[in-house]
Structure 1
Amino acid sequence: MEIALIIIGSLTIAATAIPIVRGEAWWIRVLDFPRLQVTFVAALTLAAYIFFVRDLSVKEIGFLFLLAACLLYQGYMMFPYTPFARKQVQQSTNSKAESSFSLLFANVLESNRDSERLKQIIRQADPDILLTVETNRWWQGQLSEYEAAYPYTVLQAQENTYGMLFYSKLELIDPQVKFLLDDEIPSIHTRVRLRSGKEIELRCLHPKPPFPTEDTSSTNRDAEILIVGKENKENPSPFVVMGDLNDVAWSHTNYLFQDISGLLDPRVGRGFYNTFHAKFPFLRLPLDHFFHSKHFRLVDFRRLAYFGSDHFPVYIKLSYEAEAATEQEELHADSAQKEEAGNKIDKAG
């Protein structure tokens, strides 16, 4: 028992310490993901060791101290995404329908064939904007019925799990599909005219994850996210970023992206809203995101029902409120962060 606890505890200590390193190798960055799981295992190991092991040596006390330090560090990293933290995005009390709009995002899992359940979710949520990823020609055919209700579309079906299908009831201005760093990885860039007439910028992303079967490092993922972040900082327009970023909310890259872009995360102060893995509760992580500039307040934000994918769909409703830009705090990057972001982008380029 004691040996098993030492082995498990040592693994949790390593899983906590390794991602502190800023390396971009997949086996380092993948450990950004399971903070919830590492915290749970570390807590169980610490409790079991205290309960079952008697007459602790100095080394064992040191081992328990390290486990406790892991718990504190992991808790510190995840704390912003609990209801106990201060909210980054204020709740809207605006009742003007013309200033609000809703978005639904779903990673469909390309091999998933349960399109009817997704259609039911879409009908119930009735979003103004719908983005699906991992969508190929089969999925485009299944969702083609929405082209009547959503007259503005950007359809980039692909057979490599990185296709994107975008449907909008709101007018799109100069929509473009761009391949920022990889000829196989699209992103959607467009302006959207709200019912009020206000124009906003919208970016839709789905970069590769740092995993051996996809990409052996996080270099391109980080750079793609940061390129869009820098674009927002240089653009005074209201700005929204959405998609499966293949990164967790509490990663260093996510914090860097927010500081570089100034964009706010509606998760902060509200909850994890874990979207992956839909089939295995213990493995769930917050991988699917909405970020937006300080011009918006939050009307609604929720995870939707399971439909056969490994991701849950997520829904958000935002309200454009001009006064929010002066009443919500914008994030800012310091010189070291700007240099780090520039280096990451240059390395990918």
Structure 2
Amino acid sequence: MNWRKLFQVLGIVAALLSLMPLVAADFWWIRIFDFPHLLLTSFTFIAIVLYFFVFKPKFINDYTYILILLACFGFQLTKIIPYTFLYPTELLEIQKVSNQQNDISLYVVNVLQKNKDQSAVIKDIKDVNPDIVLALETDQKWANSFRTELQNKYPFMVEQPQDNTYGMLLYSKLPLSDTKINFLVDKEIPSIETKATTSQGEIIQLYAVHPTPPMPQHNPMSSDRDKELMLVALKAHENDLPVVVMGDFNDVIWSDATQLTQRIGKLLDPKKGRGFYNSYHAEYFPLRWPLDHILVSNDFRFVAMGTRPYVGSDHYPLYLKVSLESEIKEEQPVQIIEKQDWQRCKDQMSKNGMSSFLELPNQLRDLMN
């Protein structure tokens, strides 16, 4: 067997798969390659090292191959470096000294509907003791267990149990108001919109989402996922309250769709400069990437974040504690929304007449006319 040729072929395959998401198409077999970006980056790096130290380049074809791999590796790094310690944090650290009255803790877990170990999830929630809990893939069985175990500590709740793996349960210690269960894109796919009032009387706008992934057994296109995220981003953009968007996005944070959601929504990512916080797949280490996210407006400051231990699901729970410090929000500016961002937003919203769902920002309305 010619190992040199084999590694050349495998290296080129890794490069091509990394570049696949650059194709402007919503087909699942293209968008799916956003997910294993960490794995492909690692493979490219290993291929470069092995080629240098094992095969020792001799011919012009060898150097051409290495240059192609190095260019691919450079592109791959630009996607993931923002989520390492080499990049500055986007959500800044807390400024106030241990004023816990301003702290808000958030917990999101995709329980895996068929997971029978409900006690493990409930125990972890009790151990963390967050202010707000979002549980996804929850049917009536999960709703009954959660209500029995959590209602004393979490008297405010929004429950939308479903049997199609898209049920949602939201439990809160903070009073909730103006609650809506929306079906923004599909009558079977809910999202939650509600306001939470802190102990200091501050009102926070919460959006909870769990769109369909671009996979053949769920949805052969990424269009519905991207449209739902964009609709929520537009709601966040128009909202003057402190905003939290949380859930299983069924998308990695470095993808173009989620990056656009963050910019349009004027949201900050606590993962930037801190780590990937891979939440899926909990049972297969090589196939692990960040699917669960909590994005916040610049009214908040970072206190703590982490993934939680295994609870019998294919997802690890994700936990974030922030401090509400709206009075110094201007110290951490959000990303600038460029004209091309609004154009891409327009393209998403124009699909199937989605622009009729909410009042559009002036910048987008001008583009759509």
Normalised by the length of structure 2, the TM-score is: 0.92
CA RMSD of aligned residues (A): 1.2
Aligned residue in 1 for 2:88 = 86
Aligned residue in 2 for 1:278 = 282
Identity of aligned residues (%): 37
Change (3 A) 1:65 1:265: same
Change (3 A) 1:54 1:238: closer
Match of 1:24 among 26, 36, 52: 26
1:100 and 1:54 map into 2 onto residues whose CA distance is 56
1:276 and 1:100 map into 2 onto residues whose CA distance is 27
Q: Which runs of 5+ in 2 are unaligned?
A: 355-369
1:41 and 1:324 map into 2 onto residues whose CA distance is 43
User: How many residues are paired up?
Assistant: 349
Residue 56 of structure 1 aligns with an amino acid whose one-letter code is K
Cα deviation, residue 346, structure 1:
1.7
* Partner deviation per Cα, 1:44-82 (whole Å, 9 max, x = no partner): 112222233255322222111111111111111101000
Whether the 8 Å contact between 2:298 and 2:326 is mirrored in structure 1 is no
The SS at the match of 2:275 is coil
Whether the 8 Å contact between 1:297 and 1:324 is mirrored in structure 2 is no
Aligned residue in 2 for 1:8 = 10
User: Does residue 112 of structure 1 match 2:124?
Assistant: no
1:29 and 1:159 map into 2 onto residues whose CA distance is 26
Aligned residue in 2 for 1:321 = 325
User: Does residue 172 of structure 1 match 2:168?
Assistant: no
Residue 142 of structure 2 aligns with an amino acid whose one-letter code is W
Match of 1:147 among 146, 151, 165: 151
Cα deviation, residue 322, structure 1:
2.1
2:339 and 2:126 map into 1 onto residues whose CA distance is 46
Whether the 8 Å contact between 1:106 and 1:312 is mirrored in structure 2 is yes
1:332 and 1:258 map into 2 onto residues whose CA distance is 11
Cα deviation, residue 22, structure 1:
2.0
Runs of 4+ in 1 over 4 A off after TM superposition: none
Aligned residue in 2 for 1:295 = 299
Cα deviation, residue 301, structure 1:
0.8
User: Does residue 135 of structure 1 match 2:138?
Assistant: yes
Structure 1 segment 255-266 matched on structure 2, within 5 A = 255-266=259-270
* Partner deviation per Cα, 1:310-347 (whole Å, 9 max, x = no partner): 00001111111122311111122111110111111221
User: Does residue 39 of structure 1 match 2:41?
Assistant: yes
2:54 and 2:94 map into 1 onto residues whose CA distance is 51
1:116 and 1:302 map into 2 onto residues whose CA distance is 21
2:73 and 2:85 map into 1 onto residues whose CA distance is 19
Cα deviation, residue 138, structure 1:
1.3
Q: Which runs of 5+ in 1 are unaligned?
A: none
Normalised by the length of structure 1, the TM-score is: 0.97
Whether the 8 Å contact between 1:296 and 1:324 is mirrored in structure 2 is no
1:342 and 1:54 map into 2 onto residues whose CA distance is 50
